[in-house]
């Protein structure tokens, strides 16, 4: 008796599942639910630390004595020695939309302005206090970004002028 109920239950279950099919040829069956992902075209290699040396960052950034340099596969960070350190960061983004970074910078109270660096488009954004500047340059489907921050209430010139010089070196040295 148990075997009979198992066979009947299995048959009913199989019929129910087969009834859920499309029931015919439909163009919708071959149409993907979303478009295929875009394959990013790699732009020129921005190099380790944007092809800018520690000494060049120190001099252009006005860091004085550099106390710490951190490097990883996508970026570098330099800090000056002393209390209230000046910080400079370089980051390279492969296959990532520059517009997303621009949107994030906007949410931080910075107003990105369109710029051109060595014939390449980008943007720079200075925070209202004048202490932080982010500068990004488009490289095909990639981009790189230089950023500089001064301690609050310090006396300094526009950090965008300094990171622009670093970005110009990066663009000149692209591979």
Encode pLDDT of 53-72 as tens digits.
Answer: 999 999 999 998 888 899 99
Contact indicator for 52, 90 with CB cutoff of 8 Å: yes
| R_g over Cα of the chain | 27
Measured between alpha carbons, how far is 18 from 43 in angstroms, rounded to an integer?
50
**pLDDT tens per residue, range 96-153:** 889 999 999 999 999 999 999 999 999 999 999 999 999 999 999 999 999 999 998 8
Look at the block and give the residue holding tokens 């921005």.
46
């Amino acid at each position: 008796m148990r075997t009979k109920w198992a066979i009947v239950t299995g048959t009913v279950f199989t019929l129910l599942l087969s009834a859920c099919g499309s029931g015919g040829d439909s163009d919708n069956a071959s149409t993907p639910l979303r478009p295929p992902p875009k394959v990013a075209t790699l732009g020129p290699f921005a190099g380790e630390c944007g092809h800018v040396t520690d000494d060049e960052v120190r001099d252009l950034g006005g860091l004085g004595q550099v106390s710490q340099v951190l490097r990883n596969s996508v970026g570098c960070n330099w800090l000056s020695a002393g209390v209230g350190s000046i910080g400079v960061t370089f980051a390279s983004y492969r296959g990532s939309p520059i517009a997303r970074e621009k949107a994030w910078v906007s949410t931080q109270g910075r107003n990105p302005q369109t710029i051109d660096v060595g014939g390449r488009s980008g943007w720079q954004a200075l925070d209202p206090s004048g202490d932080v500047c982010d500068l990004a340059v488009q490289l095909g489907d990639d981009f790189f970004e230089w950023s500089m921050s001064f301690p609050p209430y310090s006396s300094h010139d526009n950090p965008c002028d300094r990171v622009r010089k670093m970005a110009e070196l990066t663009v000149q040295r692209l591979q």
